Amino acid sequence: MITFAGVKQGCPVRKHWAATGTNQERHPAQHHKRSIMANSFQELGLNSYLIKAISELGFEKPTPVQERIIPDLLSQDNDIVCLAQTGTGKTAAFGLPSLERIVEHNLGRYTQVLVLSPTRELCKQITQDLRNYSKYLPDFCIVDVYGGAGIEPQIKALKKIPHIVVATPGRLLDLIGRKAVDLSRIHTLILDEADEMLNMGFKEDLDAILESVPQEKRVLLFSATLPLEVEKIAKTYMQDAQMVTVGERNSGSDNVKHYFYMVHEKDRYAALKRIVDYYPEIYGIIFCRTRRETGDIASALIKDGYDADALHGDLSQMQRDQVMKRFKNRHLKLLVATDVAARGIDVNNLSHVINYNLPDEVEQYTHRSGRTGRADKTGKSIVIINTKEQSKIRRIEKIINKTFAQAKLPTGEEVCSKQLLSMIDQINAVEVREDEIAPYLSLIEEKWHNLSRKDIIKKFLSMEFNRFLDYYRNAQDLNIVQEKKKKKGEEADAPAYTPKRGEKGFKWVKLSIGTKQSITTRHIIRMMTSLGVGKRGIGKIEIRRSECFVNISANAAKYVVEQTNNTEYRGRRLWSEIVD
Ligand code: ADP
Ligand code: MG
């Protein structure tokens, strides 16, 4: 729930703000106010134009952050630092009181409010949200400006003298330099997703902007986390700021279930595919660690036939807009994204959040997993880890105060039957327009006269399904079994000399040859024995399209790599390395 930094022990910010003297004096009043729990927006004191607009949007009662800060923003002038995660309703929390103030200033035509946000997507989203709230305010004007788009149209739009400007820092600075925007009379400055703005390297731009706007204004800073840089901004540019922390809505959400799958590093992508295939109705975000990984995974998924695409900072703005649009209207089922690109973007009803790789700062996990399980819907937050990453799971468990369940990757057969059943469900759900199809029926019957009902069904299903059958025909068990010993018989189909997978004393060697070069197990065994590796020293062999993995006894693995890496094999350069 809601807590005050001022009453929270050991909060790093407290010392500084408490030292200003006014912070502590404020508490009794705040407590008093807080006891009058507002159940409706009317009680918060918003005007009827705004109430009408937001009730049309389906806002029935304020969210905790709105309930907590709207009354203050309406009745006081102090600065506020608000720590709250994505999805807590911050836009309305700062937007509605800002609009209310503009109305109090008789909708005077000068720029009264400035909102800074890290990305173009967020600028547009905030602008759209504020437009919705202000639908019934006569002659209200808001303009958004951001990089990656032509500056001339933005200069032209600013000539209308909007009440509110929503901007990314870099572009705004540019516009200030060109004297295209007059911020001399703003009464409210909002820094949205401040930590992300600093992460993105906007520190200097922010400093420059904050230096250039009038002193007599209130500053509202919103952030999901409170790193030192954010504190610094707050200390430098805010006065007697009051700190509001809204409870960890995301991690606390009981609607999210957390799972991890443990696989060998080399199987990470295969595991992702298997998870995605096992949930035919999936609509989710796949988080990667870097832009590059994001691009690679998205490309691989697209190549493998999925409705997926990437969202990261290297894309042009137009591409990002396109991707978001397709994802929001569900033409894309999977959005592969970096943390920064996905921050603040409002997409509802995600069924899954998949951590393809955990973030370097595990604290980020809560922001990721909080993207699902919204609005009383349940969601799954899934993490793929290798054997060395178990400690990260433990650390996250401490942060979110929940435990992860270790899930088992489904077998190829399980995936296939799930897909098949889903396909049948989809067919069942199809609406048949009798009248419209009637004229074609005789033609159809003629074409199919020699096929039985059963054959037709099989053909129809195979059309989509063959891709799964092909892929999963010889699907391996990707799960890492933690018990060292497997039951006898489980490996009956493996050659007698095969050491257990991942068994101590064996290492995976990767070779840059695969089925593309018509490589078979036999070739690999021959290659290894010719290098002097005894048959007992050769374990499992997995052959992919353009690479293969061989389990080799540890004492021989290094030698094998030395002997094979950067050599020639059948007229082609051969690369090899020890993996895992
Ligand atoms: P944040 O900025 O904290 O990430 P947003 O302001 O984008 O969150 O709000 C998240 C979602 O919740 C949006 O779809 C918004 O329309 C919705 N929302 C905000 N406030 C309310 C409310 N009081 N009642 C219902 N929905 C709300
Ligand atoms: Mg927001």
Q: Is residue 116 part of a domain?
A: yes
Q: Is residue 454 part of a domain?
A: yes
Q: How far apart are CA 457 and CA 275, in angstroms?
A: 27
Number of domains in the chain: 4
Q: The CATH number of the domain where 282 resides is what?
A: 3.40.50.300
287 and 393 both lie in a single domain: yes
Helix or strand holding residue 2 (H, E): strand 2-4
Q: The CATH number of the domain where 553 resides is what?
A: 3.30.70.330
Buried b (16+ CB within 10 A) or exposed e, 189-201: bbbbbbbbbbbbe
The answer to whether the beta carbons of residues 194 and 80 sit under 8 Å apart is no
Both structure tokens of 7:
């009453």
| φ, ψ dihedrals at 105, nearest 5° | -85, 25
Half-sphere exposure of 363 (CA within 13 A, CB side): 7
Q: From the CB of 59, is ligand 1 less than 6 Å away?
A: yes
Per-residue confidence in pLDDT tens, the chain, 580 aa: 333 333 233 333 322 333 333 333 333 333 334 334 456 888 888 899 999 999 999 888 898 899 989 999 999 889 999 988 777 889 999 999 999 999 999 999 999 999 999 988 899 999 999 999 999 999 999 999 999 889 999 999 999 999 999 999 999 999 999 999 999 999 999 999 998 888 778 889 999 999 889 988 999 999 987 888 888 889 888 988 888 888 654 444 567 889 999 999 999 999 999 999 999 889 999 999 988 899 999 999 999 889 999 998 888 888 888 899 999 999 999 999 998 888 767 787 889 999 999 988 877 888 888 888 766 667 899 999 998 888 889 888 888 878 888 888 998 888 888 888 888 888 888 888 989 989 998 998 888 888 888 898 888 888 878 888 888 888 888 888 654 333 443 333 333 334 444 556 788 999 999 988 888 888 898 888 888 788 788 888 999 988 999 998 888 888 888 888 888 787 778 889 998 7
545 and 429 both lie in a single domain: no
Q: Choose one of 225, 245, 265: the last residue of a domain.
A: 245
Both structure tokens of 308:
């997926």
Both structure tokens of 236:
């430098």
Q: Is residue 149 part of a domain?
A: yes
109 and 177 both lie in a single domain: yes
294 and 176 both lie in a single domain: no
- For ligand 1, what atom is nearest to the CA of residue 84? 3
Q: Is residue 6 part of a domain?
A: no
218 and 260 both lie in a single domain: no
Q: Is residue 36 part of a domain?
A: no
Q: Is residue 494 part of a domain?
A: no
317 and 227 both lie in a single domain: no
Ligand 2 centre distance from Cα of residue 224 (Å): 10
294 and 381 both lie in a single domain: yes
Q: From the CB of 344, is ligand 1 less than 6 Å away?
A: yes
Q: Is residue 298 part of a domain?
A: yes
- For ligand 1, what atom is nearest to the CA of residue 346? 7
Q: Choose one of 409, 435, 450: the last residue of a domain.
A: 409
Q: How many CB atoms lie within 10 A of CB 560?
A: 24
**Residue partners of 431: CB distance under 8 A and separation at least 6:** none
191 and 147 both lie in a single domain: yes
Q: Is residue 30 part of a domain?
A: no
401 and 299 both lie in a single domain: yes
Taking CA atoms only, the protein residue closest to ligand 1 atom 14 is: 346
3-state DSSP of 61-121: CCCHHHHHHHHHHHHCCCCEEEECCCCCCHHHHHHHHHHHHHHHCCCCCCCCEEEECCCHH
Q: From the CB of 364, is ligand 1 less than 6 Å away?
A: no
**Residue partners of 100: CB distance under 8 A and separation at least 6:** 45, 46, 47, 50, 74
- For ligand 1, what atom is nearest to the CA of residue 65? 3
Q: Choose one of 451, 472, 493: the last residue of a domain.
A: 472
Residue 562 belongs to domain spanning: 506-579
Query: Has this prediction a pTM greater than 0.75?
Result: no
Taking CA atoms only, the protein residue closest to ligand 1 atom 22 is: 59
400 and 270 both lie in a single domain: yes
285 and 394 both lie in a single domain: yes
233 and 276 both lie in a single domain: no
